[in-house]
């Protein structure tokens, strides 16, 4: 028999990738967090615990449960969901602060930013993207997980040679942040940052129905077991948030399939952008 792991009221058998069962330590990555060597407290934000220098020599933006209990797990899950859907995100690590706290770290990615020494205007950056329709994929995912704060400040545009690509960062106001994990898509505030950003993009990049369908198809293949496996690789302290169990339960129901259809209908409608 496999070892029983408890997650916020749920009990699950640990499984290997091939479906076989074995004893499994859910805190396995806690054995290998990156030590934080220095902290820049000036760069703390409403959701960020600040920028730090880690032992690998790179700076990271951090999210701490001391700011809000769900923040580190939220970022950890959303980064993994994004990668599973083919949405690019920065390298992310579990970091160990000098006081021993384990925080989520998103490696700062060098990029062409739209403020602080403007190199390109936002519309120029969008026009230079190698795969501009990927922005519609990001927005489809954002609206599914209720990330209503997508804007240029939480995108990183990177130019290598003549090619420009974009990374999605910061999911602080998504998923576990909301009291209602998944309110109806039709109730999304038309004036929220994500919809406003979609309007901006629509003036430059035609709405890609194929990209929206690609993301919805990928989300269909992301199961509650995937969420459970990803969370099992995070510190146990991150998982002690009340809505995590609710999220796992919802993800296994037909409500998920219905929401994916709502997302497609929302984009098909066309009147929102």
Long-range CB pairs of 55-61 (<8 Å, 24+ gap) are: 56/93, 58/91, 58/107, 58/108, 59/107, 59/108, 60/93, 60/95, 60/105, 60/106, 60/107, 60/108, 61/105, 61/106, 61/108, 61/169
Indicate whether 186 pLDDT > 70.
Answer: yes
Read off the pLDDT band of 111 (50, 70, 90): low
Arithmetic mean of pLDDT, 68-76: 94
d(CA 138, CA 154) in angstroms, rounded, equals: 12
- pLDDT by residue (tens digit) across 198-227? 999 999 999 999 999 999 999 999 999 999
Straight-line distance from the first to the last Cα atom of the chain, in angstroms, rounded to the nearest whole number:
53
pLDDT of residue 21: 42
d(CA 87, CA 167) in angstroms, rounded, equals: 8
Indicate whether 101 pLDDT > 50.
Answer: yes
Which span out of 129-133, 163-167, 181-185 was modeled with the highest average pLDDT?
A: 129-133
Arithmetic mean of pLDDT, 69-75: 94
pLDDT of residue 162: 77
pLDDT of residue 254: 94
Sign of CA dihedral 73, 211, 194, 44: positive
Residue 51's beta-bridge partner residues? 40, 61
pLDDT of residue 3: 34
- pLDDT by residue (tens digit) across 3-24? 333 333 343 434 444 544 444 3
Read off the pLDDT band of 183 (50, 70, 90): confident
């Amino acid at each position: 028999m496999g070892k029983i792991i408890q997650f916020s009221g749920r009990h699950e058998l640990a499984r290997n990738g091939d479906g076989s069962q074995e004893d499994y330590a859910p805190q396995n990555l806690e054995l290998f967090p990156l030590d934080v060597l220095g902290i820049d407290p000036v760069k703390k934000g409403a959701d960020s615990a600040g920028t730090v220098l880690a032992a690998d020599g790179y700076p990271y933006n951090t999210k701490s449960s001391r700011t809000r209990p769900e923040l580190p797990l939220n970022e950890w899950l959303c980064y993994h969901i994004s990668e599973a859907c083919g949405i690019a995100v920065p390298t992310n690590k579990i970091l160990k602060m000098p006081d021993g706290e384990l925080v989520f770290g998103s490696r700062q990615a060098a990029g062409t930013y739209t403020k602080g020494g403007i190199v390109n205007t936002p519309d120029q950056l969008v026009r230079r993207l190698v795969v501009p329709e990927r922005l519609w994929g990001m927005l489809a995912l954002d609206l599914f997980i209720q990330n209503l704060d997508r804007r240029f400040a939480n995108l990183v545009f990177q130019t290598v040679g003549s090619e420009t690509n974009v990374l999605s960062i910061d999911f602080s106001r998504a998923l576990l942040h909301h009291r209602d994990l998944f309110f109806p898509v039709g109730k999304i505030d038309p004036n929220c940052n994500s919809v406003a950003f979609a309007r901006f993009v629509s003036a430059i990049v035609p709405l890609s129905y194929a990209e929206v369908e690609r993301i919805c198809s990928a989300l269909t293949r992301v199961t509650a077991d995937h969420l459970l496996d990803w969370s099992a690789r995070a510190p146990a302290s991150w998982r002690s948030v009340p809505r995590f169990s609710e999220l796992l339960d919802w993800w296994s129901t037909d409500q998920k399939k219905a929401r994916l259809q709502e997302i497609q209908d929302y984009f098909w409608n066309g009147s929102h952008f």
